[in-house]
Amino acid sequence: MKNITVSVHDETYRRARVKAAAAGVSISRVVSAFLSDYAREDSEFDRLAREEAALRARISNFSAASRLDREAVHARR
């Protein structure tokens, strides 16, 4: 387990300490829980990967065999 040092305003610390004491937990436990939740959140990469998977699942009528041939792609008018 790692120890960290965090600087906060005196009033913020006082209010957090009172609130933690009312809940029967330590400030260390509150900060640890916050960081655990923060680290658990998906990264941008994870979010985009899920979005890509959802989009691919919606594509149902695609076949590489039905693509245009070279002549049709490069037809000039």
- How far apart CA 7 and CA 13 sit, in angstroms, is 9
Single pTM value for the model? 0.54
Convert the pLDDT of each residue in 16-37 to its tens digit: 999 999 999 999 999 999 999 8
pLDDT at 77: 62
Mean pLDDT (whole number) for 60-68: 78
Reported as a pLDDT band with limits 50, 70 and 90, residue 62 is confident
